[in-house]
Amino acid sequence: MKPYTQEVQATALPIPSTLDDIIFENRNKAYGAYELRTHYTTNINRALLIGIGFFGLMLLTNFLFARQKENSERIVSVDLTAQKIPDEPLPELEKPKEVEPPKPIEQVKTVAFLIPEVVEETDKEVAPPSPDEMENSIISDKTQDGIETDEIAATPPTEVKSVEKTIVELPEEDNTTFITVEVQPSFMGGNSEMYKFLGKNLKYPSAAQRANIQGKVFLSFIVEKDGSITDIETMKGIGFGCDEEAMRVVKLMPKWIAGKQNGRNVRVKFTIPVFFRLDD
């Protein structure tokens, strides 16, 4: 009787080729540690090359800066050789013009003519010169001979020049309309009297009463230089006949006190509100 034997088929397993394969055998190789270990040599070589290149660039930069500084500090020598300047003839100086000596002042004939003074007694009386002696002579405090002249003692002309008439044109009247002036126009008696005048003459339109309309009507007008009211306009109205009634009453106003600018009356644009209110 033969013994029982079981045949087992042998299977060849792959033998790990590197230490990393042995360590990470039957493990998750997608994990980061395996990737780092397999590419470790490549990363080290790449980092080494980058470091060498960066170090070499720094050396090259320092060398270029040192070379540039050396070139900028280089002393430039200039050969200064004295040269003889050729002798040039000096320009001839112009001779100064001879100044003519001043002519001697000719003595002009003068006649003594003293202001008469009142004295108590005098030993010597001096008579005033005659017209013949004063002719062609200069009045002075003493009498002396000299050249007779008619320029200094010339008689004034008898003809009188006509005076030219100058026509002064008056400035045209200024009709500028001002909005703000130094002295504003005002109603006679002030604003209280103005509103009394409006309340006394204002009539409430029947259409506004039926529609229960209340409010303010703003009117603008120009206070002329004489205080009269012109150019009345409605700036903001409420309708129903109130605007027309407000304009009618403003036209009835007496003359205002005109506004002033630089001390003179001027035209001023003025705005007032006219109230329409129903009694409860």
List residues bridging with 108 in a β-sheet.
147
Least confident of 62-71, 91-100, 130-139, 171-180: 130-139
Under the banding of pLDDT at 50, 70 and 90, the label for residue 232 is very high
Whether the pTM exceeds 0.85: the reply is: no
In angstroms, what CA-CA distances link 176 with 72, 184, 229? 76, 15, 16
Q: What is the mean pLDDT of residues 244-271?
A: 93
How many of the other CB atoms lie within 10 Å of CB of 276?
Answer: 21
List residues bridging with 221 in a β-sheet.
270
Asked if residue 219 has pLDDT above 70, the reply is yes
Q: How high is the pLDDT of residue 267?
A: 94
The most confident of the ranges 14-23, 44-53, 69-78, 99-108 is: 44-53
How many of the other CB atoms lie within 10 Å of CB of 262?
Answer: 7
Q: How high is the pLDDT of residue 14?
A: 54
Angle between the 191-201 and 242-251 helix axes, to the nearest 10 degrees?
120
Q: How high is the pLDDT of residue 153?
A: 47
